[in-house]
Amino acid sequence: MQINQAVVNNRIKAHADRINRLEFKMYEEAMNVNVENHQFVLNLIETQWRAIETSHSITYCDYLRKINVTAQCDYDASGGEATLREVRPDRCSFAPVLPQLYRRWVGQCGMD
């Protein structure tokens, strides 16, 4: 019985040692590489969205100026940040829309 117990204990220690020294480190390295890869992709996507946002703001501000709509745009012509603060379409004025109310006459449809 003592021999079996010693063999089982040695196997448990050997497996634990293999897990701690080899498998856990390999798993940890694989996860670190995976996290770094996802972080790189996230940074790339954020950079692309910032560039798209800046390009859109600059294009939209230029368009508003061409059609004579008052817009306060702050952007650096050398490719800096662009922000669209306020757009006031002062060229258009619309008349108010008032609802027309109709009266229902009871008894005209043959339902008395």
Tell me the pLDDT tens digit for each residue of 80-106.
Answer: 555 555 555 555 667 778 888 777 776
3-state secondary structure the chain: CHHHHHHHHHHHHHHHHHHHHHHHHHHHHHHHHHHHHHHHHHHHHHHHHHHHHHHHHHHHHHHHHHCCCEEEEEECCCCCCEEEEEEECCCCCCCCCCCCCCCCCCCCCCCC
- pLDDT digits 0-9 by tens, 59-71: 888 887 787 776 6
For the chain, give every domain's residue range: 2-88
Residue 17 has pLDDT above 90, yes or no: no
Mean pLDDT of 30-36: 92
Query: What's the pTM value of the predicted model, to 2 decimals?
Result: 0.48
